[in-house]
Structure 1
């Protein structure tokens, strides 16, 4: 419920503080007094898109604050939680419009975007008028309205889930068919490439090892000569080994006469002889490794060049050829199993389509029943509005299947017996349209809690008993909730639980709008003005008292 509206420096309002109440709240005043400015101000703080030049002339900025009560089960709480804004029983919206056009908004003292404001507004306020910018005249939302009236939430969700499953199944089948077609187009290449790679059977690291062996064999002849010379220097008759041996024998021959002085050099020579033996063995092993079959170099080079050519052919590194072969084999396996996979996916699609058709048919049946109930409810609402001869019909026709089923819903009317039925916004006149919209709103709002309903001159074009009937339906609609009505009808104004008068004044060359809550006596004069015009007569006051006393 909207509890308070504080407006500062917007259009021709310098400062207004309004406290609204449950029930039927009526706002009256002469044409041009500024009633629409109140709605513009409320729309501004709720994030609705509207006029840009809102700041009052001479002011640096305009500001609107709206305070709502949100009980524990109010849907606005979900919007707040999703936006990360503290949830409290009192919801305070504040929005500032600076003279340069910049806008800033806060929700419970947290900065908020226009999107958050608009999401909250969907749960807080509905605005209706003869132009009905909230959708009753828009055939594209009639299906949604019928589903809300019928309480089809579970069936709509089941249909949407079945549609998502159907879409996924169709997409999976299409993708599998495309993959199979692509695989079939390259089947010859895949089989030939796999056969080549399996015949070559490259191993990880093999390229580097072959390259090392190739380099070694290419250098064998040159380095072999030097290694042979080193072997001869170490082990020949005149080599280091023979000389060290002679020196050791000579020293050992005189060790007894020389005493301990020769022990260290003899030990060192023994160690040197052992190390020299190891060196000779190592050199001999190196010479043996350089001995190879002359055809071996050719074989190594042929293998190395084959691996590198295969890598270039498939544009991968030599060490990645094994993994590449595995990928090709996987694609071949998929190709071989593709037909079976597609058959399974085709069965999945048939099953998904069957589930969707079942859910859509169930939803269609529910909509047909709800349409009958809505038409009956509308018939009951139109009679008190002096339109008992009019016929409201909810037409359901087939349409392309989609997430919301396979029904198109259109609200049609026939205003007189025998007259052709047509879309609501094309058949009804201004006054008739107002009453159709009011009746429709009464029917659609019966199970709606927590919304503040605003009707902007929805009684335009009607008077007398019809206006009285309109007022009574508005009063009925406000029971247990809150309705704000901008009206020029004395019959509607007299039925209000709370009454505000909107006036335009000029002071010191400045035009300002004021809004005043009316006492019982002041209400008599305001309703009398609405009856009599600018000059309030005693007869007008008497008629006003009669209306207010009903």
Structure 2
């Protein structure tokens, strides 16, 4: 319930504070007095669209603050959103609107916490519902009508609607998987052909160790220089062990050194270590000579092997250019595409299996939609009977109303197109409500619709903006009684021109415009004054004030006849409230 509204520099309002109460709160005043500005401010603080025009001329900042009383469900939701409640279990919402350099910015806070637009929208749905005669557009929208019907149907319909949403999402995923599989089949086959060719090519090369190319290149060097290697081997052998000339070999020199050191050992045993080292060196030189001689004798020209090596090197270099650049990278690529090829051949679902899966999902979706349609038809029958009962007291005794449910392709909200069909006059065929209802008929229909939802809805505050435009007399009285009925379950805020409606109010406010002299300049003695228009609201908290306001609404002046009529309206309203209580 909205308990307090503070407004600063909003449109024609400079400073305003309003305290609302439970039950029916009514705002009256002359046409253009600024009643709708109050509702605009409520809409603004709850996240409605704003422009620079809402900021009072001569200022660059507007502020709207609203205080709502909470309930257990709302308190639990706020706790989930990590918003702390204030001490008296109230919800304090503020919105600051500023205009600088032609740009409009606003900041919203809930209990002092800065929040975004999405949060405010969700909170708004839990706090306030605004109904205006202009909602004729909504009545013509199938989506809005569907939401109304589903809400009226209750938990069973809403739960089945969730089942439909789950089934629809599963069907969409299956359909997307199938379409993706179909559209990618050509690419898959092309990739399959490419990888098959590459695996075959790399497999035929019989790749081995990553250093095979380096080893082959070394072998090629050896085969290309056999004669040089033989000559150099023999030269080393001669130098180490056996020389054809007169020059001593390394083994000869080491032998001489061994003899001398042996003689020295006889005189000094410390030389034994050096003698052992020379003997080891001599043995090493002899072994090197033997091996180099064997190496030289083993060398022989092998043109056939050289050709094989050259061919293998060319083959591996070709593979490296295509899959490398190194042989190790080519081998790694070969291993990777073998796995990819296996996946393409073995792991991909066939189109046939995906078609079966899609058909199964469609069958489940169709079944869920059919169940939802049946639940909606049941809810529609109850709504038809209930709404006709609510409309009859509103001077629509012969009205016909029907909820038309036509089948359409399945969507996330079902397979139904829902239209409100309406005939206010006997003998006239049912037609779409949004196309044939007059303004007064639409007002009564919207009010009756809200009455159907009044006990089921959890919204604390319902706002009606001139819902009674275009009606008078008995119909206005019926609307007043219907608003009072709604106020037994919700706080109701109503802007009206009807004295019959205003008389039923539990709390009555008069809105009017006043022209004031505003001082220009920083100091009063230096400043000049200018006339400014402001909106003022008076709480009519005693019988005399209410009677005068009702007289003004009824007769345009406080004539005795109008006063007497106003008194009768207040008496009639009091009697009605007493009977209902």
Q: Would the TM-score normalized by the shorter structure come out above 0.5?
A: yes
- Inter-partner Cα distance in structure 2 for 1:489 and 1:281: 128
1:525 aligns with 2:548: yes
Residue 384 of structure 2 corresponds to residue 375 of structure 1: yes
| Local SS of the residue matching 1:389 | coil
- Stretch moving more, 524-533 or 127-136: 127-136
Partner of 2:176: 171
- 1:347-366 to structure 2, matched below 5 A, reads 347-366=356-375
Q: Deviations over 1:366-405 (max 9, x none)?
A: 1111111111111011001111122221111111221111
Figure out how many residues of one structure are paired with residues of the other and give that number: 546
Change (3 A) 1:55 1:457: same
Distance 1:323 1:87 in 2: 63
Structure 1 position 276, deviation (Å): 4.1
The answer to whether structure 1 residue 246 and structure 2 residue 252 are counterparts is no
- Output one character per residue of 1:32-76: Cα deviation in whole Å (capped at 9) or x when no partner: 1111111121222112114431121222311111122232212x8
Q: TM-score, normalised by structure 1?
A: 0.90
Determine the structure 2 residue equivalent to 1:145: 148
Provide the C-alpha distance between the structure 2 equivalents of 1:358 and 1:24, rounded to a whole number of angstroms. 45
In structure 2, relative to structure 1, the CA distance for the partners of 1:145 and 1:38 (3 Å cut) is same
Q: Does 1:24 align with 2:29?
A: no
Contact 2:167 2:361 in 1 (8 A): yes
| Secondary structure in structure 2 of the residue aligned to 1:99 | strand
1:548 positional shift? 1.7
- Tell me which residue corresponds to 2:355: 346
Select the residue among 118, 121, 127 that pairs with 1:124: 127
- Compute the displacement of 1:279 (Å): 5.4
Q: CA deviation at 1:153?
A: 1.2
- Post-superposition shift, 1:425? 2.2
Q: Deviations over 1:126-183 (max 9, x none)?
A: 1111102893443332112211111211100111111111111222223333444434
Structure 1's unaligned 5+ residue stretches are: none
Q: How does 1:3-82 map to 2 (within 5 A)?
A: 3-74=3-74, 78=77, 81-82=80-81
Find the aligned partners of 1:273 and 1:210 in 2 and give their Cα distance. Answer: 33
Report matched runs for 1:372-521 at 5 Å: 372-508=381-517, 509-521=531-543
1:128–1:134 Cα contact (<8 Å) kept: no
Question: Which residue in 1 is equivalent to 2:282?
Answer: 273
Cα distance, 1:215 vs. partner? 6.2
Q: 2:208 aligns with which of 175, 198, 203?
A: 203
Range with greater deviation from structure 2 (195-204 or 215-224): 215-224
Instruction: Indicate if the aligned counterparts of 2:174 and 2:354 stay in contact, CA closer than 8 A.
Output: yes
Q: 8 Å contact 2:149–2:380 — kept in the other structure? A: yes
Deviation of 1:322 (Å)? 4.5
Q: Do residues 235 (structure 1) and 257 (structure 2) align?
A: no
- Distance in 1 between residues matched to 2:298 and 2:134, nearest whole Å: 100
The alignment partner of 2:458 has SS state of: coil
> For the structure 1 residues 177 and 60, does the alpha-carbon distance in structure 2 shift closer, same or farther, using more than 3 Å as the test?
closer
Q: Which residue of 2 aligns with 1:103?
A: 106
Query: CA RMSD, aligned part only?
Result: 3.0
Distance 2:95 2:234 in 1: 97
1:161 pairs with one of 166, 177, 185: 166
- How far apart in 2 are the matches of 1:87 and 1:294? 95
* CA distance in structure 2 between the partners assigned to 1:254 and 1:382 by the alignment: 138
Cα distance in structure 1, aligned partners of 2:263 and 2:64: 120
Q: 2:313 aligns with which of 287, 298, 304?
A: 304
User: 1:274 deviation in Å?
Assistant: 5.1
**For each residue in 1:425-458, what CA deviation from the matched residue of structure 2 results, as whole angstroms up to 9, or x when unmatched?**
2211111111011111222343111342110000
The structural deviation recorded for 1:251 is 2.4
Rate the CA distance shift 1:116–1:301 in 2: closer, same or farther, 3 A. Answer: farther
Provide the secondary structure at the position in 1 that maps to 2:369: helix
Distance between the aligned counterparts of 1:186 and 1:139, measured in 2? 48
User: Is the contact between residue 95 and residue 104 of structure 1 (CA under 8 Å) also seen in structure 2?
Assistant: yes
Structure-2 change in CA distance of 1:291 and 1:73 (3 Å): farther
Tell me if the contact between 2:515 and 2:533 (Cα under 8 Å) persists in the aligned partners: yes
The alignment partner of 2:65 has SS state of strand
Note the residue ranges of structure 2 that are not aligned, 5 or more in a row: 518-530, 574-581
Q: Alpha-carbon deviations, 1:203-224, whole Å to 9, x = none?
A: 3514554455356536755566
Deviates more, 1:276-285 or 1:432-441: 276-285
